[in-house]
Structure 1
């Protein structure tokens, strides 16, 4: 009987550990973009990290748009355990989005359609933890504030024409 109780407790502890999302990790100078394999700290704009089941480290993205394309696209072959994006409401600037100011993508407020480009030169979808900060950014730069589930797949999966870099004011 004691073994059965011990086995049940161990199983419950394993399930709880599996269900708990990993914490975000600091973006170091060695962090490379999943698609581009370039150092993230050399590119402006918000970043993203996604923790996948079966991988010990997150995969990073040079643009939030790229991470959203990964999440909404058909190529993903592992379960997402956690998805974090740069909180641009507390970022020092567009060129210095921060290395530890992550917010959960599921609770973030995104500005889509603003006249800004991300780290790889494509139109960017800009994340904020605070709805008022997102609305303020949209008022200055254009675009619409929306939640993760409301961003249409076509917004991030459609091809884009890369233009000279524009940065927000």
Structure 2
């Protein structure tokens, strides 16, 4: 050892801790929303909107649609059924960087069961009618979202089913293989009768 050089100190652990803290600070600045900021608004559905799981244009499907906005993605993840929206939030292989979830309000649907283009509501505050026999976008039973509990109750009185909240949606309802209803006399999701 040279007399003029200072004694060697093993500062690798200190550098490692410093690098880890710096990485955490950078991650915290990466576009995350803080809890007090409002979620981004829903995105208008266009002719280019394609269902995440089915790969089909959303306008080819009847009934309510859904969209999930992710932190690191500029366009929504689109869904042709409400069950698919819930499946996305449950399945472990899907991203968990969700900043907002929107579904279409069936309380504003026309007589054919199609909600207007601006009928997006926060999925976490919606009331869902399940097990009503309503058929969704892929020809299978689907959940019907309503902004107002009164609308969900009125539909349930006419068609049966039960009403659940976002956090109460049964996982087995979402993930079980649906009974396909193509060619049956079941009515489309939300069709008024």
**Could you say which TM-score interval applies, normalised by the shorter chain?**
0.7 to 0.9
Match of 2:75 in 1: 57
Taking a change above 3 Å as real, the CA distance of residues 18 and 88 of structure 1, as seen in their structure-2 partners, is same
Instruction: Look up the SS of the partner of 1:107 in the other structure.
Output: coil
Say how many residue pairs are matched. 158
The 1-side partners of 2:33 and 2:106 are apart by: 34
Provide Cα deviations, 1:54-89, integer angstroms capped at 9, x if missing partner.
001111100011111111222212311000000010
CA shift, 1:158, in A, is 1.0
Match of 2:102 in 1: 84
Q: Say whether the 8 Å CA contact 1:32–1:40 is kept in structure 2.
A: yes
Match of 1:3 in 2: none
Match of 1:8 in 2: none
The 1-side partners of 2:155 and 2:85 are apart by: 21
Q: Say whether the 8 Å CA contact 1:25–1:100 is kept in structure 2.
A: no
Q: TM-score, normalised by structure 1?
A: 0.85
Instruction: Look up the SS of the partner of 1:116 in the other structure.
Output: coil
Answer with 16-25 or 50-59: which moved more: 16-25
The 1-side partners of 2:36 and 2:71 are apart by: 9
Answer 1 or 2: which has greater helix percent.
Answer: 1
The 1-side partners of 2:33 and 2:176 are apart by: 38
- In the alignment, structure 1 segments of 5+ residues that lack a partner are 1-10
Moved over 4 A (4+): 13-19
- What root-mean-square deviation, in Å, do the aligned CA atoms of Structure 1 and Structure 2 show? 2.1
The 2-side partners of 1:121 and 1:18 are apart by: 39
Q: Say whether the 8 Å CA contact 1:26–1:99 is kept in structure 2.
A: yes
The 1-side partners of 2:112 and 2:85 are apart by: 18
Indicate which of 141, 144, 164 corresponds to 1:146. 164
Match of 2:91 in 1: 73
